[in-house]
Amino acid sequence: MFVPNHDARSFWEPVPGSRHDQLINLNNYPPNAEDVPVLSLAAAELDHHLALLEQQIASLESQLEQLWQEKDNMLSKRSQIRGVLSPLRRLPPELLAEIFQWTLPLVARAREQRRNRVFNLHASPWLLIHVCSLWRTVASSLPSLWSRVVVVFSNEPGSRPYPLPLLHTHLERAHELFVSFYGSENTLIDQQVDAFACLSARASTWRELTLSLTPTLQLMFNNLAGRLPDLRKVSLQWEDDELSDDDGIHCLRTAPNLVQVAVSNINHFVPVDLPTGQLTRYSLDAAWDVHWGILNLATNLTTAYINIDFDFEEEWPPVVEPVSLIHLRQLHASHLQILDYLNLPALEEAAIRIDSFEDEEHFVPNLMNLARRSFCELKSVRLIGTPTAPVIEQLFRECATIEDLRLMFAGDATNDWKDVKKIMTVLTPLLSSTNSQTLKTLRFLILGKNRLNPADVDVFLSMAKLRVRNAEYAAFEYLEWLVERPGRSSDLMYQGLEALKDDLSYHFSEGAQLQDLWREWRFRS
């Protein structure tokens, strides 16, 4: 039989050992006729009690929901109060403005276009105006926060250019503008025209300009002649220079404060009229006669990137008298013959391409002829393309003033890792000789090669240790190893350099971002 049990956990329990206990707990026999009413009554009683329990549970769940809601409200209020008490609330606007400046993205030019292919409202400075009214007021009234503007038009899937209404607002908040505009002939032509027209309306406030041109944009840009009073630095490239207007660029000649110019052509030269006499830095892909004309007039140059990859004639004109550039300190030359036409008494840093056996034979003689003719002291030499061990040996023998040597291996160069290893093997005894006693920094930048292997790492570290621990010569201050393709031996290289950190500063880096340094080391504006 059943007896009542008022424990809430089990309202009815059969008497232990009874038939009902056995039916429910011990076997699967069917109940007798006299068992059915008793069991049915027990089930009904349990149904009633379950209903009461469900009511209690529902009531408690409702109460719990209210408690959770009350907790959320309290958390929100506490957060608001703590926000009021936050030191940021008490920062003077001037200090807050300084902090805001550090939120701006620092992106090298080589990655700028890709980073801004999709407009991002959740990046600084736009993000700052959505935090609170104080931040919005400070950010909106800080012109320097809005001076940098990047507009990218791309036909890549998912691209989203800067919305024109927001671009208008951005420009209204700036006093001076550092503009990057990347056009595309294959997408949203009308929107590009509107965006560039919007920027052009404030051309008088442009300080720096990076511009990727299309034929339409080239025409619009030329219409800005006489409207660029404060433009100081410009970098021009063409999305496809085969489509460029051969009439060229004319608006820059009337820019009274323009001092730095870079023009990049891949396939053929596009003429650009420049205020040559006022330039301090220029970077140009052009035929030699174009460079020669500029060099004879640009007497204020401090940096020159001279590249004649295309439109090159085999016959070099005779050298009548080298042009003298008394302020030029940094030079990139795509051909060794360029050195014969120059007199550079202030030259300190030279980046010169070496691509062939003929270059290897004449590299050091041509460079030293320039140094002797100019009475200059070369502090930094950068060999670009396919540096070789014989050239480096000869360079150390004949140039005793070098403090910084940079070896830059191009991705399309013919030499491979065994050539790099041969250079390091040659450098090992050189670094402990009197010929290299002035050398303070050594840098490798290697693009496109196969991955490191342990043997390469051992040779490199042996070379580094030898010079670091040679107390007879000038302190070896800095070592840099930059390789585009990471390999399984990267950890070995890092550990080896880390072991020298007490005696040597170093930088070990990998990856595609090295393209930025590739431009910088060659003085490519």
Q: What is the DSSP string of 298-339?
A: -TT-SEEEEE-SSS--SSPPP-SSPEE-TT--EEEESSGGGG
CA 108 vs CA 100, 113, 486, 513: distances in Å: 20, 10, 21, 9
pTM to 2 decimals? 0.76
Per-residue pLDDT of the chain (525 residues; tens, 9 = 90+): 444 444 544 556 777 767 677 667 766 667 777 777 777 877 788 888 888 889 999 999 999 999 999 999 999 898 888 877 777 677 788 888 888 888 887 765 656 666 767 788 888 888 888 888 888 888 889 999 999 999 988 877 777 888 999 999 999 999 999 999 999 888 888 899 999 999 999 999 999 999 999 889 999 999 999 999 999 999 998 876 565 666 789 999 999 999 999 998 877 788 899 999 999 999 998 889 899 999 999 999 999 999 987 656 668 888 889 999 999 999 999 999 999 999 999 999 999 988 776 777 889 999 999 999 999 999 999 988 888 888 888 888 888 888 888 888 776 544 456 777 777 777 776 666 665 566 777 777 766 555 556 666 777 777 777 666 666 655 567 777 777 665 666 677 777 777 777 776 777 666 656 777 778 888 886
Beta bridge partners of 235: 210, 262
Q: What is the 3-class SS of 174-223, one letter each residue?
A: CCCEEEEEECCCCCCHHHHHHHHHHHHCCHHHEEEEEEEECHHHHHHHHC
- Pair 363, 354: CB distance under 8 Å: yes
pLDDT of 18 reads 74
Residues 6+ apart with CB under 8 A from 314: none
pLDDT of 313 reads 63
Q: Is 493 exposed, middle or buried (0-12, 13-18, 19+ CB in 10 A)?
A: buried
* Owner of token pair 């607002």: 169
- Pair 374, 354: CB distance under 8 Å: no
Give the number of other CB atoms < 10 A from CB of residue 198. 17
Residues 6+ apart with CB under 8 A from 169: none
pLDDT of 166 reads 94
Q: Calculate the CA 126 to chain-centre distance.
A: 21
Any long-range contacts for 117-123 (C-beta under 8 Å, 24+ apart)? Answer: 117/152, 117/154, 117/156, 117/158, 117/159, 117/160, 118/158, 118/159, 118/160, 119/160, 119/161, 119/162, 119/163, 119/166, 121/166
- Our CA angle for 280, 239, 251, nearest 5°, is 45
Q: How far apart are CA 384 and CA 351, in angstroms?
A: 7
Task: Name the DSSP class of 129.
Answer: G
Task: Name the DSSP class of 123.
Answer: S
* Angle separating helix axes 389-398 and 357-374, nearest 10 degrees: 20
pLDDT of 156 reads 78
CA 149 vs CA 153, 158, 207, 234, 313: distances in Å: 13, 20, 12, 14, 41
* Owner of token pair 């007896």: 3
Residues 6+ apart with CB under 8 A from 90: none
pLDDT of 325 reads 95
Give the number of other CB atoms < 10 A from CB of residue 498. 11
Task: Name the DSSP class of 257.
Answer: T
Task: Name the DSSP class of 251.
Answer: G
The SS3 of residue 481 is strand
pLDDT of 175 reads 94
Q: What is the 3-class SS of 361-401, one letter each residue?
A: HHHHHHHHHHHHHHCCCCCEEEEEECCCHHHHHHHHHHCCC
Beta bridge partners of 12: 4
- What residue spans define the domains of the chain? 2-85, 88-274, 389-525
* Tokens of residue 214, six digits: 């299309």
Torsion of CA 435, 437, 441, 442, to 10 degrees: 30
CA 84 vs CA 54, 134, 292: distances in Å: 45, 12, 65
Q: How far apart are CA 452 and CA 458, in angstroms?
A: 11
pLDDT of 376 reads 93
Beta bridge partners of 58: none
